[in-house]
Chains A and B, each alone.
Chain A
Amino acid sequence: MASTAFCNSLPAQDAKREIQRYQQMIAEGSPVELFELQGEELWKKPQGPKNVSLEQCDLGLGAGVVKGAYARLPRYFNDADRVMDLESRLLHCMMTLQGRKREEAALQVFGNDDHPSEMELLSAYIAGQSRGARMSPGTTHPKEKKSYELGRRLFFHRAGAWDFSCASCHGEEGKRIRMQELPVLYKPEHARPVMATWPAYRVSNSQFKTLQWRLNDCYRQMRMPEPNFASELTVALTMFLTATGKDEPYRGPGTKR
């Protein structure tokens, strides 16, 4: 735990400055670009029963267009007749373009100490191709509006062994868990810097993590069952958070504690 880094008498201001210095330090030594490069390789690698790459995957801006695509997600896709975020769209392309079975493609969506997952590497590459683009998820299609509304309701829905909702931790200004400051994620000014920096490299476990992994980890700590990967639930929460934090130029993949 980070607690050992702080001596007892350290005033809160100094502690805050120390944390900022630490954050700057980890950002400077971040290996994010290595993950982006591995992701690009994977994007171009022929795979699956059809032995084709993902290069013709339509991420929303047309087949094969990667530049700026992440910043426009989640959005409604006509061909699937549903709202998709990056990970659910990648899964869709693996199934339709590469002919892979869902069970196989989604077998290990979160990596471990030794191996990052395909989803993580691909997310690093595709998100990196939106650096500088303004975050503007789809907000006009009826299904996009419905997804946002569902995500908002989920954010405030209290359940589980400890009665938590997302807002239990992310609902009030100026609060912390231990030393970790908590963004109030239903407020645009708090959601913007968060949504503009996921997916991200996590220093504490030296792994690259997707946004769905982050949501998953919240559900784990809320003492809830696990969300299904690429489900309407995870897409709706991503939609709510991204739309709340929209208009911020994307500057990820970020580097987190």
Chain B
Amino acid sequence: MLQRDLHARGQATMDRVVQDRVQRVCTESGDRPPAELAKSLEADQMKTIAYPSGSLMGDWKRGESIAQNGRGLQWTDKPGDTAGGSCYNCHQLSPREASFGTLGPSLRQFGKLRGNGEEIQRYVYGKIYNAKAYNLCSQMPRLGFSGTLSEEQIKDLVALLLDADSPVNQ
């Protein structure tokens, strides 16, 4: 029915209509999957996260503009254009941006409260890359896994959250 009543437009191709296992399990369970199943699928999702070698901290200034940018992967977006993370659509981040959404938790002072050691860097990178590895039916997109953001962009967002100089931590 979805195959019949939708059509590809621009980069929004029909393969997107086909649910993967995560989407199917979350739809069928109303986002409340049985614990055992959730654990095993989260482990599968964890394996999709490709960690770059070296530091995971990029440039928080570039991270801020990625967080502001809500474009990417829509049929109105030019294929090949750099996408954003749409972060401010759902999260509070820098105190300088008053127009922030509340679908996700506030990330104000995220790094100030948690430090910026290797472990938290890996967590933030992984969470942005594939949020479903940590909470199977999270409403947050899998920004690395879906090909929305590049490795470099995710590193810049890690810096936005964790760098001591980032406005997020002021």
Task: Give A175 to B92 CA distance when docked, in angstroms.
Answer: 12
| Interfacial chain B residues near A3, Cβ < 8 Å | 97-99
Q: Of A76-84, A203-211, A216-224, A248-256, which binds chain B?
A: A216-224
Q: Nearest Cβ distance between residue B42 and chain A, in whole angstroms? A: 14
Which B residues are CB-close (under 8 A) to A162?
73, 141-142, 146, 148
Specify the chain B residue showing the minimal Cβ separation from A160: B16
Interface string of A145-189 (1 = CB under 8 A from B): 000001000001111111111001100101111111010000000
B134 touches A (CB below 8 Å): no
Contacts of A161 in B (CB 8 A): 12, 16, 73, 141, 146-148
> With A168-B139, A172-B103, A225-B14 in contact, do A8 and B95 touch (Cβ < 8 Å)?
yes
A-B CB contacts (within 8 Å), total count: 122
**Residue tally, chain A, CB below 8 Å to B:** 43
> Is A232 interfacial (CB-CB < 8 Å)?
yes
A224 and B12 form a contact (CB under 8 A)? yes
CB pair B103 A225 closer than 8 Å: no
Kindly identify which residue among B7, B12, B30, B101 contacts A223, using a CB–CB cutoff of 8 Å: B12
> In the bound complex, how far is the Cα of B101 from the Cα of A169, in angstroms?
11
Chain A hits for B9, CB < 8 A: 225-226
Q: Which of B8, B88, B141 has the most CB of A within 10 A?
A: B141
B74 touches A223 (CB 8 A): yes
Given contacts A159-B17, A177-B90, contact A220 B6 (CB under 8 A): no
Cα distance, A2 to B101, chains bound together (Å):
13
Main secondary structure of the interface of A (DSSP, over half): loop
Residues of A within 8 A of B26 (CB): 158, 163
Q: How far is the CB of B49 from chain A (nearest CB, A)?
A: 16
CB atoms of A224 and B99 under 8 A apart: no
At the interface, yes or no: A140 with Cβ under 8 Å from chain B?
no
Q: Flag if B73 contacts A223 (CB, 8 Å).
A: yes
CA distance A232 to B6 in the complex (A): 10
Residue in B19, B90, B98, B148 whose CB lies within 8 Å of A159: B19
Please report the C-alpha to C-alpha distance between residue A132 and residue B38 in the assembled complex, in whole angstroms.
49
Within 8 A of A (CB), among B64-78: 73-76
Q: How far is the CA of A228 from the CA of B27 in the complex (A)?
A: 23
Task: State whether A178 touches B6 (Cβ < 8 A).
Answer: no
A231-B16 CB under 8 A given contacts A161-B146, A175-B102, A178-B101: no
Asked whether any CB of chain B lies closer than 8 Å to the CB of A227, the reply is yes
Interface flags for B122-147 (1: CB within 8 Å of A; 0: not) read 00000000001000000101100011
By a CB distance below 8 angstroms, the chain B residues around A163 are: 22-23, 26, 132, 139, 141-142
Q: In whole Å, how far is B28's beta carbon from the nearest beta carbon of chain A?
A: 10
**Partner pick for B5 among A168, A176, A179, A233, CB 8 A cutoff:** A233
Chain B residue nearest to A169 in the complex (CB): B103
Interface hits, A1-59 → B, CB 8 Å? 1-3, 6-8, 10, 15
Beyond the given pairs A159-B18, A159-B27, 7 more chain A to chain B contacts, judged by CB atoms under 8 angstroms and listed by A's residue number, are A162-B148, A165-B27, A168-B139, A224-B17, A225-B17, A226-B9, A228-B4
Q: Which 3 A-B pairs have the closest CB atoms?
A: A3-B99, A233-B5, A162-B141
What are 9 A-B pairs with beta-carbon distances under 8 A?
A150-B1, A157-B2, A158-B23, A162-B142, A175-B102, A225-B9, A225-B17, A226-B7, A228-B7
> CB within 8 Å of B: which residues of A?
1-3, 6-8, 10, 15, 150, 156-165, 168-169, 172, 174-180, 182, 219-221, 223-228, 231-234
